[in-house]
Structure formats: structure tokens, C-alpha cells
Amino acid sequence: MSIIEGLSHIVLIASSIEKYENSVQFYSLFGYQTISHFVNSKVPTNEVQFLPQEEKLLHLFGKPPTKDITLKIVLATNTNEKEPFPEEKDWRLEQASLVSVTNDIVAVESILKSINIRYQKYTYPDVNESDLLATPPPADFVHTEVYTHDPLNNLITFTNKPNPFSKSIYPIKPKSPVQQDIDISTQPKVERKRIGVLTSGGDSPGMNAAVRAIVRVAISRGCDAYAIFEGYEGLVNGGDMIKKFGWADVRGYLAIGGTLIGTARCASFRERKGRLSAAYNLIKNGIDALIVCGGDGSLTGADVLRSEWPGLLEDLIKEGRITIEEATRFKHLTVVGLVGSIDNDMSSTDITIGAVTSLHRICEAIDSISSTALSHSRAFVIEVMGRHCGWLALMAAVSTGADFVFIPERPPISDDWESEMCETLKKHRDLGKRMTIVIVAEGAIDKNLDPIRPEYIKKLLTDHGLDTRVTTLGHTQRGGKPCSFDRNLATIQGVEAVQAVLRATPDTPSPMIGIRENKITCEPLMKAVELTRQVAEAIAQKDFRRAMDLRDPEFSEDYQAYIDLAVVNEKLSLRENQCLRLGIIHIGAPAGGMNSATRAAVRYALNHGHIPVAIYNGFDGLLQDNLRELSWIDVDGWAGKGGSELGTNKINISELDVGMIAYQLQKHRINSLLLIGGFEAYTSLIELNRSRNQYPAFCIPMVCLPATISNNVPGTDFSLGSDTSLNAIVDSCDSIKQSASASRRRVFVVEVQGGHCGYLAVLAGLAVGATSAYIPEEGVSLKKLQADLNHLTRRFGEDKKGTSSGRLFLRNECVSNTYTTDVIASIFKSESRGLYDSRTSILGHIQQGGTPSPTDRIRATRLAVKCIKFLEQYALPPTSEKIVYPSIYTNVKESAAVIGIEGAQVIFTPVIDLLSETDMKNRKSTKTWWIHLKELVEILSKWGKITFFKKI
């Protein structure tokens, strides 16, 4: 006798309010009705897991021969979430949580499509007609099953077979109600959100990457994406200038500079009549959200359109151009702004899309000019863009080691700045410099607000005997393909822009997507515009201190660092007994920025009365007495040099005689030590710190400045050289992808360096649009390879013959000993079924880069200056008492530290405190802030579900 009389209900647990509400809405679409709602108001905020906070009972009233069924959907935060089954799998082989019978599979598909839910459909046409109950059997009697996931990632099935043992099949009838009371006609219509994207104002590298991300993320989120060509001009004119974009329409956008959807100045949009036409075109295309990528003027125009929207609707109704129903449906316009500007002049964001690429172009030009200037012992006055913002000029000066710079935010203090400039340049020449570089921002002024022109500076230098030329870089600064930083910045901000659209309400102000402290931000657009305008106002009022403060936090620091390095200080304030003999040593593999950091350290030390001592060829060179004191002119030109001028090797201090190292430091009176390098430098600092009790010579302040392309040193988000390496990888992958596209239907497996850290593979994969990145943090398996094979088969099968572009897979060098680069390529080729070919490319040491990127040069300068200040803090005595070496200066743990970037902050972490977050076996940090970007790499190439990210 059975003691079970039937089914009571099925319990589904949601881990968040969003998933809870989405689940209730999802099942309501299929006819489930809420019959009970309970809220547990007594749950404390720190309650244990799984305690219900809220629950709803949903009931489905079945039709014979099926039975009623009840679902209990429970909200219990902190519960573990299920993972959806990969779409490459056959979901029929998995266990479903719920199976529903219906006689209208078409209606089920319609609902799933309307809410953009992925599903798999299977039909079984080979049914024996004699087994069918209906006689004669209708032509549409086909056994059909649909598999999908609910918002809680439960696998659910819809079938037109009443039960597994039944021989009858419900016919597929397009307009009949779904069995179990699923009546489509009574369900609310789900409108797909339509998002328009336009680029406006001056073009900037990275705009195309933003458009690509917006289009693909919008599609992934169940929205329609529309490209508006020629900026506001296209919005006003409408017609063919507003086009719906699909997934493939933005293929290849990442590597192209400028904006492929165009930009134009639009005088008509500044008038209400033009904005009325813009509103009409948006409504007629069903667009209710607008993402604008441009400068402050472009973003202001978008917000004006939104603020006037109700009035514009009224005018359109009066003119009979739209109906009341249309006005009701589009009564709100959502506007989101992205800042695309090479000037980096927008407040509330640390950097704008395109600014870093423009800096790349400027530095490339100045590096080239420098060789001519050096050859002829000339002076060059170089004018750069930036309007009223001096960011480009200042960062170019820091990156190239320019002799003088003029920016609008900090004009020369003296009334006789001409004489001061010429005196500074004369000192440089007297020290042995053969060339002179002066950089002028196009908005440069003196303290009386009078413009400073390049031709005037040329005249001054010529009068002082310098053979001088003027170069205005012009629009070359806007051109060229975007660097890796701008591609990734634009991509991640594009993702956040779509998210901002979806969460916007009529009451929220228009947001601007920015970045502060390496985190993506979403702040009121007009507040940012107002702060930006305050900079110009502060300059006009000669309040230059406020103008500097309104720029990003690093602006003032970088300016002061530049002054400390460019000006020769002849008035040293330190007493002789406070002089540091500062040892500088490079350890590990070469990385972009090592020389820039050394140059900054040497010049800052000299300007503060210290003696910088170069230790050549690492600790091995120290043991061989390979040391030399460096002068100001010795490091001239090092800002843009790649590799390591001091020489470096991967010999770890543990492999050498530590006692002899202590002896050599004492012999050469080294009383502070700057270690520049990767994981070997980090572990060397650990060993030196451990040996302090045994060797007093190590009781000196020591600091490690991480410099490695792998970005694997604990204590910092970014290591010197990692940005240079990313750009080298991106350049190579662009060429490889071009080859793959030209060959059609070709897949490249590209091996990148990084040791056991997947940073390079992930960030480069995001920048080049790789299909996937295989990294040690996740590993690679047959299951993963099979999923990627299925994806390639599907995508190449969908592409029109002769139109397929190439595809890239990035593989970290240490991801697997079994699945090597050649093995993966061979698997792809053998399983391709003739749809595509596969090749390999191992980039090797080209990834170490040649000329360091401007980003690495700026970071190197800023961090090196702070390192010297750190060494001064722990080495200089508090009194005037003369120190006799090798007295113990310090052995506190804080005096042996690693400098790092955390957000926008520069921090010093005692090396002993970093051991807890160090994976010594795999030589990397256990903190991988970038790992969440791995998912985004595949989402933007494979059309998957989307998660939104806050940090880059």
C-alpha cells in the first residue's frame, strides 16, 4: 500500500531579490498564478544561510488529463547558485527540474524569444502513424521537446507528449493555448527594449570598441541595437541613417580607429526644431534609450533632448506626426553618456576613451623627432592638442623626458618666464645634452592669460643660439588604431552603459559612465559637465590651484614629479651626513619601464643630494664589483628606451652567497636599495629581509618596484612592462587576425607568455576580440575544447560562404603540459569537418616589447619618485648626528616593502605581509582582480549571458 498520495509542491530557491522577482515573472508568463505571498520580517541581517526571507506560491490549474501543480519560490540570500548547462551540451542528457506538457510548442518558443531566453528544440518526426490516437493523423503531428533554463538556472522541459509512456502526441497548432492553462493571448506583451548608439564631436580611438560592446551586450540582454550614423546629424535626418545592427555588423570594429558609424557637427540639433525631428525619428524607430559617446558638448546635447522630451512629444502630437498611443509608450527617454575624447578634459573620470591612444601617437612622434634633434643638436618646439586641458602635453613631457612644458592649468609663475625657460635649457646643454624638446599645449597661456605660441618660443630659443624647429602634430594625434588600454576601457564602459540603460528609471538623472581609481563609475552626467566647465572658469579667473585640483588625482602628482626631474637643483638642502648612497639594481627578465624608472630615481635622488649607484647585471654584477655612480646626463634619453640599460638576469639571490652580497653592500657603502624587477626581485627582497638578523648590512631601507610583463607580483594591480607587453601582443594579434581573415575560415591558436598568471591572455583576448583564452587559473580540458569546437562549427556553419573572418584563441604558455599550442590546433583542425583550417603562432620574446608604452613610462616615473621618498623616510636620521656605516639604520618590517598600485592609490606593503597572498609554487599573487574579465572575453565573441563588471 502506498503511503504517498501525490505531489504537494516543488520548491525553487532564489539567492537574490532580482532572481526571485524574475522567476515569479518567468513562470507567470506560462500561466502560473500567485495564490500566496509570505514575507518573513523577523529575519535579521546577519542570519544564517538558507533561512527564507520571502516566498510565493504559484499554482498552475491543469487541464485533463494533466494535474494541477504548485511551485514555491523562496528568497533566501547567500544560498549557492546553480550554473546553467553550457549551450554546446545536449540538454536532453541532463536531469530536468520540471517537465510541462503543452499542445502549443510554437507559443512556448514565442515567449522564450520575447524575453531572450536560450533554448534547445528537438523534433522526432519518425512516429509510427498507427500508434497515434488521432485518425487520420494531422500533418503536424510531430513529437517536439523544448529545453531551457529558468532565471534560477533550473533546466525545464516543454513537450507535446502527455507522459513518457503515452503513444499520443498533441499536434503543433500555431495559435492554440498551451496545455496546463498557458494562454498566450492573456499574457502581457513583452516589449524588446531598443537602444540607439551614436558617436558625436571629435572622433577618438576606441569609439568603435564601445559601439561593438554596446551592440553585442544589448543583444545578449534581449534588446535591439540601432546604430545612428553621422552623430546628431543622423538623428535629425533619420531614414537610412538609423539602422538596426546585428551581432556580425560590428565584427572587426576593435582594431579600427575613429568611428565607423561616423560623426558630424550638427547645427540643426542645437535648435528645438532639429531636436523635434530627432525625437520623431527615435519614436518611429521604436528607440527609447540613447547611448552617446562624445565630449562634454555632445553629452550636454543628449541631456537637453531628454529634458525637453515631454514638450517634444506634445508638439509632435499637435502636429499629427505621432499618435497618443505612441506618446504614451515612449513617454520617457533614457540617455547614457560615454566620454570619447582625446583631450581627457572631462571631470568625474580619470581617463577618457581615446586619450591614451592619442598619447601613444604623440610619444611615437616625439621619439622619432628626438633622433633628428640629437643628430643635429637641435631644439624642437612641439605643439600638441588638448584644447583647454594640458593632460596630453604633460603626460607627453613625462613620457619623453622633455626639457620644458607649457600647460593651461599651471602657467609659468614668473613674469619673466622666458628668461627662466632659457636658463633651464642652458643648464641642460651645459650638462652635455645635445637636443632640446619643448612641448606646448594648444591652450597654453601665461599667468596673465595671454597665449603662449610655438613660434614665439622658437624665436626665443633661436635668439639664444639654438637651431630651432617647430612641429605641430595636428590630427595625427587622433589617428591610428586604438591601443589595448582604450579598447578594453571602451569595451567595459560599453557593457556598463547598457546596464545603466536597463536599470534607469524616469526619475534618475542621465548618467555618465567613467572610471575612478580603476573602477567603472556611473555618475550624473550634468554634474560631470558642470565640473568640467568649472576648470575653464577657474583658469579664466586665474585660480590655477583650483584648476589643478579639478583634474584627476594623479595630474598634480605627475606635474610635480616632472618638475623634480626636469629642473636641475643646484641648492641642495641635505647635509653631507644625510646623503644616501642609493643602490639601483634590475632583477629578472627585462620589462618596459625599467629604464624610465631608473632615470626618474637617479634624477630625483641627485636633485635631493643623494648618490645613485648603478648595480649592473643584477646581484651577480654586485659580487663582481660591477657598480658605478650615475650622473644626471648618464640617464638622459632613458625614458623611452626598452629593455634594461643596467642589465638583468634571472639569478635569484638564494642561488648566491648571501654573506658576500652583504659584504659588497657594506664595501660600497650602499645604505638604501631599490630593486626593479619581477618575481625574482620580489623573492630577493624576501630573502634580504629574512637575513637582517644575521647580516646588519641588510638593515637598510629596501623597496621593490614590480617590473614584469606577467603582472604576477603580489602587492600591486599593475607591474611595469605589462601594458607594453599587452600592446605588443595586440599588435601581433591584429596582424595574425588580418591574415586569418584574408585566408577565410582560419583559426589561429596564439601562445602568449605570463608564466602561471593568465593576465596577458585575458586582457589581450579582450582587446583583440579572441574567441577564448586558456589560462592557468581555469585550466583547459577536453570538455572545454569540445565546447569551443561546437562553437566554431556552429559559427562557421552560419557564416555565408566566402565571408567568414578569422578567429583567435589565446593560450597561456603554462596552462597545460598536455594540451600544448600545437595539440589544440591539431584538435581544432581534425574536428573541423572541413569548415575551417587552424594554425599556431608563438609570439615569444616579442611580447617584452620594444619601446615602452606611455602608460608604463608614466607609471615608472611616478612610482620611482615615491620609492626614493620611501627610502629617505626610513634611512635619514632624525637628528644631525653623523652615521657611521654600517650602523643599523632600520630593521622594522615596514622598511622592506613592495610599492604597488591599488585603485588610484600608490601603496607600500611590507614584503613580509605579502607572503599570505603569494603562491610561491606558481610564482604569482593569489589575488586576481582581472579574472572576471575572462567571462567577458567569451560573452562578446560567443553571444552568451552577460555579467556586469566594476573594475578593470
Q: Which long-range contacts (CB under 8 A, 24 or more apart) does 687-692 make?
A: 687/652, 687/653, 687/654, 687/658, 688/653, 688/896, 689/893, 689/896, 689/911, 689/912, 691/658, 691/662, 692/891, 692/896
DSSP 85: P
- With a CB cutoff of 8 Å and minimum separation 6, the contacts of 92 are 120, 122, 145, 147
Give me the half-sphere count of Cα atoms (radius 13 Å) on the Cβ side of residue 864.
Answer: 34
Task: Give binding residues for substrate as ranges.
Answer: 341-343, 378, 385-387, 442, 469, 475-478
**Shortest CA distance to 95 belongs to which of 106, 104, 105, 82?**
82
775/772 Cα distance (integer angstroms): 10
Q: What would the grid cell of residue 425 be?
A: 635649457
249/216 Cα distance (integer angstroms): 10
Which is catalytic among the residues 150, 224, 343, 345?
Answer: 343
| Active site (annotated) includes residue 288 | no
Task: Give binding residues as ranges.
Answer: 202, 265-266, 295-298, 341-343, 378, 385-387, 442, 469, 475-478, 650, 708-712, 746, 753-755, 813, 839, 845-848, 923
**Shortest CA distance to 481 belongs to which of 358, 391, 375, 641?**
358
Q: What would the grid cell of residue 34 be?
A: 500567485
435/376 Cα distance (integer angstroms): 8
**Shortest CA distance to 629 belongs to which of 573, 580, 676, 568?**
580
Task: Quickly list DSSP for 631-677.
Answer: -TGGGTTGGG--S-SS------GGGS-HHHHHHHHHHTT--EEEEEE
Q: What would the grid cell of residue 120 be?
A: 534547445
Q: How far is Cα of residue 696 from the mean position of the Cα atoms in its chain?
A: 45
**Amino acid in the structure at residue 99:** V
- For residue 75, give the 3-state DSSP assignment: strand
111, 186 Cβ separation under 8 angstroms: no
Task: Give binding residues for ATP as ranges.
Answer: 202, 265-266, 295-298
Q: What would the grid cell of residue 700 be?
A: 637598510
Helices (H), 799-850: 821-830
Task: Quickly list DSSP for 527-593.
Answer: HHHHHHHHHHHHHHTT-HHHHHHTS-HHHHHHHHHHHHHHS------S-GGG--EEEEEEESS--TT
Task: Give binding residues for beta-D-fructose 2,6-bisphosphate as ranges.
Answer: 650, 708-712, 746, 753-755, 813, 839, 845-848, 923
The H-or-E segment that residue 601 falls in is: helix 594-607
Give the catalytic positions in this structure. Answer: 343
